[in-house]
Amino acid sequence: MQVRDRLILAAERLFAEHGALDTTLSDIRADVGVSVGALYHHFPDKSQLYRQVWEHALGDYQEQFWNVLRDSDTAEDGIKAVVAQHLHWVASNRSRATVLMGAKPAGMASNAANVEFFRNTMRWWRTHAGYDAVKALDFNVVYALWLGPAQEFSRLWLGGELEQDPTDVADVLADAAWQAVKAPDIRTPDTKETR
């Protein structure tokens, strides 16, 4: 593994354990066992390193999210599979998830990979909304209904406030997400029975 990758992984773990503010570049350098020059060659300051750690975590999360969504057969399958994947990813990547739930570096909204991810996700959503499988909603509402409960459960678990593993509640939260976003059934009014 290259020095840059080792620095990112060490920083990810230390940022998650001690917080980005309390972790120093010296802590990270010592953990990896590289010289001051090697560290500064790759990352001129802690904010640049934090940004790379955060982007690395985000990229990994979004890749897993999109793979599951892209391979889903129906809207219901996609909605539920993404919630389950979210919870599985958090449980399997505790340090990475902790960093990702921390402060977002400036300028991430314009990050090309991030823009592409949201474009693809909303294209998927609008396609299914066009077929009346899910509600036609703005992105912020989509996010809150689809992943809000799973995100909140994850946040509490990562913060040590819950002991139950996130994967244990995947089915319940996936079903709740589907119930929240699925398009309402359109039914014709019942007619009176004749006797």
**What was the pLDDT predicted at 186?**
59
SS (H, E, C) the chain: CCHHHHHHHHHHHHHHHHCCCCCCHHHHHHHHCCCHHHHHHHCCCHHHHHHHHHHHHHHHHHHHHHHHHHCCCCHHHHHHHHHHHHHHHHHHCHHHHHHHCCCCCCCHHHCHHHHHHHHHHHHHHHHHHHCCCECCCCHHHHHHHHHHHHHHHHHHHHCCCCCCCHHHHHHHHHHHHHHHHECCCCCCCCCCCCC
The pTM assigned to this predicted structure is: 0.88
**What was the pLDDT predicted at 194?**
47
Point out the residues of the chain with pLDDT beneath 50: 188, 191, 194-195
1-44 in CATH: which number?
A: 1.10.10.60
Q: Let me know if the fold of 1-44 is the same as that of 54-181.
A: no
CATH 1.10.357.10 fits 54-181, yes or no: yes
**What was the pLDDT predicted at 109?**
73
Task: Give 83-94 pLDDT, tens digit per residue.
Answer: 999 999 999 999
Task: Give 107-151 pLDDT, tens digit per residue.
Answer: 777 788 889 999 999 999 999 999 999 999 999 999 999 999 999
Domain ranges of the chain: 1-44, 54-181
**What was the pLDDT predicted at 189?**
54
**What was the pLDDT predicted at 187?**
53
